[in-house]
Amino acid sequence: MTIINKQVAHSRRKSRAAHFKAPSSERRTIMSAPLSKELREQYNVRLTIYLPNHHPPTNVLTFLRFQVRSIPIRKDDEVMIVRGGNKGKEGKVTSVYRLKYVIHIERVTRDKVSGQSVPLGIHPSNVVITKLKLDKDRESILERSKKGRELRAKGKVTA
């Protein structure tokens, strides 16, 4: 096995320990959820490459370069569950429970024997974000990502 980063342990035991002992700031990025196709297309860059030695229409290659495939989930995002027993249900995120690596979604609940309704914990990888709660910080994250990828596409970023 080729070791890419000597600072990262490849031991199963140490990897699991790092995952479960991760601080809240790291858990935020681990708890990222993919964006829906509509949102991905909204935050993309269309690249057009002209091939000099080809005749039209084969001299133009156009393809989408997605800017943001996933983003850390937060309260008030609207999501759709795409895996598991609650597949197909949609709702707003009511809480992000970083300690347990789960999110709670409105109307995704379970009734206890006592009759009390409790929210079901869903892992963010099992949902797709359909609507983002945008504020200035989140917009700056998306804008930063967009600028970086545009520069990389032009070959202006090194390392």
Residue 105, classed as helix, strand or coil, is strand
User: Which residue has better confidence, 2 or 122?
Assistant: 122
What distance, in Å, lies between the first and last C-alpha atoms of the chain?
24
Report the CATH number that the domain containing residue 108 is assigned in CATH: 2.30.30.30
Q: What is the mean pLDDT of residues 141-152?
A: 78
At residue 56, the pLDDT reads 67
Q: Which range marks the domain in which residue 32 is found?
A: 13-50+64-154
CA distance 119 to 103: 9
Does the pLDDT at position 60 exceed 70?
no
User: Could you tell me whether strands 60-66 and 70-72 are parallel, antiparallel, or unpaired per DSSP bridges?
Assistant: unpaired
Structural domain contains residue 44? yes
At residue 23, the pLDDT reads 97
Which residues sit opposite 72 in a β-bridge? Answer: 32
Number of domains in the chain: 1
Structural domain contains residue 8? no
The reported pTM is 0.79
Sign of CA dihedral 70, 74, 77, 80: positive
At residue 144, the pLDDT reads 83
CA distance 67 to 150: 9
Structural domain contains residue 93? yes
CA distance 2 to 80: 38
Q: What is the mean pLDDT of residues 60-67?
A: 61
Distances (CA, A) of 159 to 95, 116, 141, 150, 154: 38, 55, 21, 15, 14
- pLDDT tens for 7-56 read 888 899 999 999 999 999 999 999 999 999 999 888 776 666 666 766 66
- pLDDT tens for 105-142 read 999 999 999 999 999 999 999 999 999 999 999 998 88
At residue 46, the pLDDT reads 62
Comparing C-alpha atoms, which of 33, 14, 156, 24 is closest to residue 103? 33
